[in-house]
């Protein structure tokens, strides 16, 4: 049962619908087949009943033809009876083939016997009819009227000896007239009473004939004998006619009786067929009703089962879609179905898993971006502090250069007092050498700071590059998600804009740092030249007396060099101020990037994952900022130039 149910679950929706409709159509076909079988059986019994009705109608036609044949002198009714009797024989032969039930065998056998008797009775009736016709013809051929007329004429010529004999002759004549009418009445009435009347009158006439015959002379006896012979023949013909009529009546009664027997048997069969049809109809109605109810119940159950097989997973998938649409991605979706709805559930499970993984990755990326932004902000803060220190050192250097300029001017003005102040000049030279060394050290610190700024700019550029890649991936995944990913696409676009702004700022900072490095290099060269000049002064102090004349020229050259140094220091001061502005802008950009990261984290936090707490902890706890030792000045410049060039190439390839 379970494998069959599993196979049914794995069928596609169209197959389930086809199967449901096939079951319902099968029930309809079975119901129709049962009804057709019932109606076919009823039709068969109706045909049997119709056959018996035909038998009854044939008997009825035989009876009608019998009545016509009884009262007419035509043979057409007889032919009609024979025709219908042959039809009866055919119907009974068909009935023997049609009625296969054992309960109808005996009635059919009896009906066949009565049919044979009916046919024999019809033949007997025909013979009786012929005998009656012959008797009627013989009756009509007797010339009784002529014999009576001749007898009356003969009596008129006889002279009776007494009145008594005359009265007997008159009585005989009157009796002959009534006798002829009585004989006709026998033929007309065809009753034993009319024959008895005729016989009674014949007896009276016979007595009168005997008495009169004894009184008549011999020459008159012929007419009387002729009359008597006709009277006897008329009586005999009337008796024969009535006998023939009785035979015809008996044959007609036999035809009626045999026909009634056949009709009664047919009616009995019809009654039994009616009972069977009634039973079949009742059973058909009951069976059709019961089967219809069973089919209705089964059809409703099948329809409800198939409907639940479709609506339940649809409702489940709708609930899952609403849950995903609300941002809840924590659902664990599983299904054992293999139909279209199961495939839809599997697809939604895959979509839910991919969205959960993508949102988790975005949260991790947002956390890393926030941490990097925090590091950038911390580095910018340190850079700002160092830039302020550098600015203070530059101001101090400028003051020292002003002091050195004043000293050189004093040396030029007091060249004539060179001898007295040679020792002071030597000390001043030593002081200038120290100052120059400080300038060199300061330039070295500026180069180191520029290297640090280049490293930070490289980090910013790398972070912007990675953020742009993450934003591009998020936009691609949002495009795949369709309408549900439109918010992701907007957020990804904002992140990409921020990354591009950060990259642009990093490129500007790298350009400014490169320019600052070139200027720092120029200042370092000038500082080195100043150091060489101071060494020369130190060496020249020992020969001051020998080259006192050259002091003024050397002082002029020294003044010009110091002015150049002052210009370089001024440019260094301006560059330092620009660096400070750039550091401030970088700090602002880092703060903006951090704020955008927080906003992106807030947008992504709309989705609930299985590990929300861990993701929030990771994104809200940035890693501690690390302090990097400052490299040497000669290593800072190549590294800064190389990193800036590599970052620019990365952005161009991106």
- Residue 466, domain CATH: 1.10.287
Per-residue pLDDT tens digits for 123-148: 888 888 888 778 777 777 777 767 67
State the first-to-last Cα distance of the chain, in angstroms, to the nearest integer.
Answer: 62
For 276, the token pair is 């069977």
Q: Are 322 and 600 in contact (CB under 8 A)?
A: no
- Tell me, what's the pLDDT at 398? 74
DSSP string, 69-82: HHH-S-SHHHHHHH
Domain boundaries, position 622: 370-402+424-517+560-653
Query: Residue 338 carries which DSSP code?
Result: -
Chain-centroid distance of CA 462 in Å reads: 55
Chain-centroid distance of CA 357 in Å reads: 34
User: Does residue 214 fall inside a structural domain?
Assistant: yes
pLDDT band at 151 (very low <50, low <70, confident <90, very high): low
Residue 400 pLDDT exceeds 80: no
Average pLDDT over residues 390-418: 73
Q: What is the mean pLDDT of the chain?
A: 74
Per-residue pLDDT tens digits for 312-321: 878 877 887 8
Per-residue pLDDT tens digits for 549-568: 677 677 777 777 777 787 77
Number of structural domains (the chain) is: 2
- Tell me, what's the pLDDT at 641? 45
- Tell me, what's the pLDDT at 22? 81
User: Does residue 341 fall inside a structural domain?
Assistant: no
Q: Of 256, 291, 324, which residue sits at a domain end?
A: 256
User: Does residue 2 fall inside a structural domain?
Assistant: no
- Tell me, what's the pLDDT at 377? 76
Chain-centroid distance of CA 589 in Å reads: 58
By CB atoms closer than 10 A (0-12, 13-18, 19+), residue 136 is middle
Residue 325 pLDDT exceeds 50: yes
Q: Where are the alpha helices (DSSP H) in 605-632?
A: 612-620
Per-residue pLDDT tens digits for 363-381: 788 778 878 877 887 777 7
Residue 112 pLDDT exceeds 50: yes
Q: Are 323 and 349 in contact (CB under 8 A)?
A: no
pLDDT band at 168 (very low <50, low <70, confident <90, very high): low
Percent helix, strand, coil in the chain (nearest 5)?
90, 0, 10
**CA dist., res. 613 & res. 234, Å (int):** 145
User: What does the CA dihedral 521, 522, 528, 534 come to, rounded to 10 degrees?
Assistant: -150
Contacts of 171 (CB under 8 A, 6+ apart): 208
pLDDT: is 87 or 483 the higher one?
A: 87
CATH number for the domain that contains residue 219: 1.20.1270
pLDDT band at 326 (very low <50, low <70, confident <90, very high): confident
pLDDT band at 637 (very low <50, low <70, confident <90, very high): very low
Question: Is residue 513 located within the same domain as residue 645?
Answer: yes
Question: Is residue 249 located within the same domain as residue 378?
Answer: no
Question: 11: phi > 0 → left, psi -120 to 50 → alpha, else beta; which?
Answer: beta
DSSP string, 414-425: TGGGTTTTHHHH
Tokens 């009896």 found at? 110
**CA dist., res. 121 & res. 59, Å (int):** 13
Chain-centroid distance of CA 121 in Å reads: 78
Per-residue pLDDT tens digits for 574-590: 887 887 787 788 778 87
pLDDT: is 117 or 547 the higher one?
A: 117
**CA dist., res. 315 & res. 322, Å (int):** 10
Q: Are 609 and 615 in contact (CB under 8 A)?
A: yes
Residue 654 Cα distances to 218, 473, 486, 647, 649, angstroms: 177, 13, 24, 10, 8
Q: What is the CA radius of gyration of the chain?
A: 76
- Tell me, what's the pLDDT at 638? 44
- Tell me, what's the pLDDT at 622? 45
pTM of the model: 0.41
User: Does residue 74 fall inside a structural domain?
Assistant: no
Q: Of 231, 256, 281, which residue sits at a domain end?
A: 256
**CA dist., res. 427 & res. 434, Å (int):** 11
Q: Quick count: other Cβ atoms within 10 Å of Cβ 160?
A: 16
Question: Residue 162: phi, psi to the nearest 5?
Answer: -145, 160
Closest CA to 611 of 376, 256, 363: 363
Contacts of 564 (CB under 8 A, 6+ apart): 526
DSSP string, 271-311: HHHHHHHHHHHHHHHHHHHHHHHHHHHHHHHHHHHHHHHHH
Q: Of 256, 285, 311, which residue sits at a domain end?
A: 256
Closest CA to 487 of 472, 469, 474, 470: 474
- Tell me, what's the pLDDT at 609? 66
Chain-centroid distance of CA 294 in Å reads: 25
User: Does residue 523 fall inside a structural domain?
Assistant: no
User: Does residue 81 fall inside a structural domain?
Assistant: no
User: Does residue 589 fall inside a structural domain?
Assistant: yes
Per-residue pLDDT tens digits for 238-260: 888 888 888 878 888 888 888 88
Least confident of 216-230, 444-458, 496-510: 216-230
**CA dist., res. 1 & res. 164, Å (int):** 128
Q: Quick count: other Cβ atoms within 10 Å of Cβ 524?
A: 19
**CA dist., res. 85 & res. 65, Å (int):** 11
pLDDT band at 194 (very low <50, low <70, confident <90, very high): confident
Average pLDDT over residues 147-163: 63
- Tell me, what's the pLDDT at 432? 74
Residue 648 pLDDT exceeds 60: no
By CB atoms closer than 10 A (0-12, 13-18, 19+), residue 80 is middle
User: Does residue 419 fall inside a structural domain?
Assistant: no
Contacts of 495 (CB under 8 A, 6+ apart): 467, 470, 471, 474, 596, 600
Contacts of 212 (CB under 8 A, 6+ apart): 165, 168, 169, 172, 224
Question: Is residue 613 located within the same domain as residue 471?
Answer: yes
For 275, the token pair is 């009972």
């Amino acid at each position: 049962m379970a494998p069959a149910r599993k196979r049914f679950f794995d069928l596609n929706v169209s197959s389930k619908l086809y199967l449901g409709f096939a079951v319902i159509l099968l029930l309809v076909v079975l119901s129709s087949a049962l009804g057709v079988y019932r109606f076919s059986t009823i039709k068969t019994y109706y045909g049997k009943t119709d056959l018996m009705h035909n038998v009854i109608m044939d008997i009825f036609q035989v009876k009608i033809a019998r009545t016509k044949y009884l009262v007419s002198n035509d043979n057409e009714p007889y032919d009609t009876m024979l025709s219908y009797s042959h039809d009866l024989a055919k119907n009974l032969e068909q009935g023997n083939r049609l009625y296969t039930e054992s309960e109808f065998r005996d009635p059919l056998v009896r009906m066949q016997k009565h049919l044979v008797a009916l046919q024999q009775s019809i033949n007997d009736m025909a013979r009786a009819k012929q005998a009656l016709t012959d008797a009627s013809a013989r009756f009509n051929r007797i010339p009784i009227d002529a014999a009576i007329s001749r007898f009356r004429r003969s009596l008129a010529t006889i002279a009776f000896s007494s009145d008594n004999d005359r009265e007997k002759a008159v009585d005989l004549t009157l009796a002959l007239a009534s006798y002829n009418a009585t004989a006709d009445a026998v033929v007309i009435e065809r009753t034993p009473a009319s024959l008895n009347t005729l016989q009674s009158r014949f007896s009276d006439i016979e007595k009168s004939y005997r008495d009169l015959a004894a009184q008549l002379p011999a020459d008159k006896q012929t007419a009387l004998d002729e009359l008597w012979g006709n009277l006897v023949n008329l009586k005999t013909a009337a008796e024969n006619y009535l006998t023939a009529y009785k035979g015809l009546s008996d044959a007609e009664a036999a035809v009626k009786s045999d026909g009634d027997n056949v009709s009664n048997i047919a009616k009995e069969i019809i009654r039994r067929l009616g009972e069977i049809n009634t039973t079949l109809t009742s059973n058909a109605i009951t069976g059709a009703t019961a089967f219809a109810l069973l089919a209705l119940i089964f059809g409703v159950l099948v329809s409800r089962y198939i409907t639940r097989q479709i609506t339940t997973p649809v409702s489940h998938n709708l609930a899952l879609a609403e849950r995903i649409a609300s941002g809840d991605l924590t659902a664990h979706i599983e299904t054992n179905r293999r139909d279209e709805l199961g495939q839809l559930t599997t697809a939604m499970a895959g979509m839910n898993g991919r969205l959960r993984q993508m949102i988790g990755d975005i949260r991790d990326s947002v956390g890393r971006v926030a941490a990097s932004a925090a590091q950038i902000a911390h580095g910018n803060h340190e850079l700002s502090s160092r830039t302020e220190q550098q600015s203070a050192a530059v101001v101090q250097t400028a003051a020292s250069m002003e002091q050195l300029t004043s000293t050189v001017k004093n040396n030029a003005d007091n060249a004539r007092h060179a001898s007295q102040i040679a020792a002071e000049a030597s000390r001043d030279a030593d002081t200038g050498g120290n100052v120059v060394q400080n300038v060199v050290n300061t330039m070295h610190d500026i180069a180191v700071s520029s290297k640090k700024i280049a490293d930070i700019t490289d980090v910013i550029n790398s972070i912007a590059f990675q953020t742009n890649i993450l934003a591009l991936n998020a936009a691609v995944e949002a495009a795949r998600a369709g309408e549900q990913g439109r918010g992701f696409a907007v957020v990804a676009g904002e992140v990409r804009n921020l990354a591009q702004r950060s990259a642009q700022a990093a490129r500007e900072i790298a350009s400014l740092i490169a320019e600052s490095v070139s200027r720092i290099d120029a200042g370092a060269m000038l500082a080195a030249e100043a150091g060489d000049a101071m060494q020369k002064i130190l060496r020249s102090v020992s020969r001051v007396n020998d080259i006192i004349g050259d002091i003024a020229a050397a002082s002029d050259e020294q003044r010009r060099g110091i002015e150049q140094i002052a210009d370089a220091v001024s440019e260094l001061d301006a560059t330092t101020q620009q660096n400070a502005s750039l550091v401030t802008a970088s700090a602002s950009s880092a703060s903006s990037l951090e704020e955008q990261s927080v906003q992106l984290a807030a947008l992504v936090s709309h989705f609930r994952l299985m590990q929300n707490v861990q993701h929030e902890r990771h994104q809200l706890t940035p890693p501690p900022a690390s302090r990097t030792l400052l490299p040497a000045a000669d290593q800072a410049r190549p590294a800064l130039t190389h990193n800036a060039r590599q970052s620019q190439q990365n952005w161009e390839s991106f």
